[in-house]
A and B are shown apart, each in its own frame.
Chain A
């Protein structure tokens, strides 16, 4: 998984554009359309105590680790 210097620069620039330059983009899912996304079954991680434990079981037995975190979701409340 070698990432060349050029690729790194490209990724950083793209990310920068996406994050800093795109304020004019309006949310395409309106807050009042977020019913399904707000449902607990749509959460990436409903029980952190349980998923934390399972991640631990796999990490003990395997060589790989990481990138298991889950982020966000969206009921759009507050």
Chain B
């Protein structure tokens, strides 16, 4: 008797869970101006998004503890090296409150694009980061055009297409 009730409960739970609406991917809307910010960089200076107007900018939010983020870094580096002279730039925003782990990761896996440290999570909040990693691609006029959540091998093909499209504008 008890097992029957339990089975019924489990079946009903299964139905309700299956119909549960997935949380809508919150975040900034495409087509809107990208929020301005300025963050300290690994090189020692401060980089401000406003200074980069006129270029296509790819912002990648990453953390050293996030597997797919680490996997993505060398690929982003290749992208940066290929297009940096053509009006494209890439910013790697590290979201960790303490930068020690990020710095030791960069020592082992160096990249040539600027790394910024968002230790107060101000920019992560501004850009409503809802997954790790998150990538935002901004056009020459400073508007957000493409947003990516997560990374799996092959996504760089999409980044390439989108960057090329924006560079042709």
Give the interface of A toward B (CB within 8 A): 1-3, 5, 8, 11-12, 15-16, 19-20, 23, 25-27, 30-35, 38-39, 75-78
Known: A1-B2, A8-B5, A77-B150. 18 other contacts (CB 8 A): A3-B5, A12-B8, A15-B12, A20-B16, A20-B17, A20-B20, A20-B21, A23-B23, A25-B23, A26-B23, A30-B129, A32-B63, A32-B121, A32-B124, A34-B132, A76-B131, A76-B132, A77-B131
- Assess whether B13 is interfacial by the CB under 8 Å rule: yes
Q: What's the Cα separation between A16 and B19 when bound, in Å?
A: 9
Question: Contacts of B125 on A, CB cut-off 8 Å?
Answer: 30
Interface size on B, residues (CB 8 A): 38
**Complex partner residue of A78 from B2, B8, B21, B150, CB under 8 angstroms:** B150
Q: Across the interface, do B130 and A31 meet the contact criterion of CB distance under 8 Å? A: yes
Q: What's the Cα separation between A48 and B162 when bound, in Å?
A: 41
Closest-by-CB residue of B relative to A3 is B5
A1-B2, A30-B124 are contacts. A75–B8 as well, Cβ < 8 Å?
no
Q: What's the Cα separation between A39 and B67 when bound, in Å?
A: 11
Q: Across the interface, do B17 and A77 meet the contact criterion of CB distance under 8 Å? A: no
Give the interface of B toward A (CB within 8 A): 2, 5-6, 8-9, 12-13, 16-17, 19-24, 26, 61, 63, 65-69, 95-96, 121, 124-125, 129-134, 149-152
Could you jot down 17 A-B contacts, CB within 8 Å? A5-B5, A12-B8, A12-B12, A12-B13, A15-B16, A16-B13, A19-B17, A23-B21, A31-B130, A32-B61, A33-B121, A34-B65, A35-B65, A35-B96, A76-B132, A77-B69, A77-B131
Q: What's the Cα separation between A39 and B64 when bound, in Å?
A: 11
Q: Across the interface, do B16 and A19 meet the contact criterion of CB distance under 8 Å? A: yes
Question: Contacts of A39 on B, CB cut-off 8 Å?
Answer: 65
